Amino acid sequence: MYRILVCDDERDIVSALRIYLTAEGYEVLEAYNGSEMLRLAATQEVHLILLDVMMPGMDGLSAMAELRKTSNVPVILLTAKSEDTDKVLGLNLGADDYVTKPFNPIEVMARVRSQLRRYLQLGGGQVLPTQVTIGGIMLDDAGRTVTVDGEPVALTPTEFDILRLLMQHAGTVFSPREIYRRVWGDSPVGVENAVAVHIRHLRSKIEIDPTEPRYLKVVWGKGYKMEERRNEKTAR
């Protein structure tokens, strides 16, 4: 049984979400401010968090930033229609999605199922490594640096985030829509060309021959993946 942590200072909302979630077969934990959410997330196995943005004491965004230091559990923000800036900031801090109040229960359940599916497919529950080496490419997330065969490579923030996603999940195929959703934090509508352009630029910087890529591969009809070459020694 999957365990969902619901955090909102409005007890009626927590109660309503508990009814919907338990009806779907989920176990529900309840918190009413950011500090309570962090305590429960640290002491209980949690598979997803529904987190309100505006709360007294520690608000949702502050709690979100603190949570991401130790956990990559999916977080869906609960926001008001007027909180567009907070939505963007929350996504930048590591939130996976958001639902606008007053919410539609069917939409909430669909988003919960979607996030759980992605989380579990990608081996959720573990903090992703901050430093990854695949062949001659080394990515340091903490310092936001990349080297290829020991030489530093200058990437734009978007290129870095795409490479980090693919390297941290080497061997996993990501569709352009999923890459866009995870990197840009926006609705993936008509995004294929935008992603393809960034992939092309990224290949030109990390591949010896971008026309015959060794690392960043296309899987026709599905998307892109980083080839697993973790123990390979490379030479120019």
Q: Which domains does the chain have, with CATH numbers?
A: 3-121 (3.40.50.2300), 131-226 (1.10.10.10)
pTM value?
A: 0.55
Give CA–CA dist 68/150, Å, rounded: 29
Q: Which residues contact 216 (CB under 8 A, 6 or more apart)?
A: 166, 199, 202, 203, 206, 207, 224, 225, 226, 227
Q: Residue 2: pLDDT band by 50, 70, 90 thresholds?
A: confident
* pLDDT value of position 19: 95
pLDDT at 112 over 50: yes
Quick count: other Cβ atoms within 10 Å of Cβ 49?
28
Give CA–CA dist 193/24, Å, rounded: 37
How high is the mean pLDDT of the chain? 85
Q: Which of 15-19, 109-113, 230-234 has the highest mean pLDDT?
A: 15-19
Q: In this structure, are strands 131-134 and 151-152 parallel, antiparallel, or unpaired? A: unpaired
Query: How many residues appear in the chain?
Result: 236
Above pLDDT 90, what percent of the chain? 45
Give CA–CA dist 33/60, Å, rounded: 8
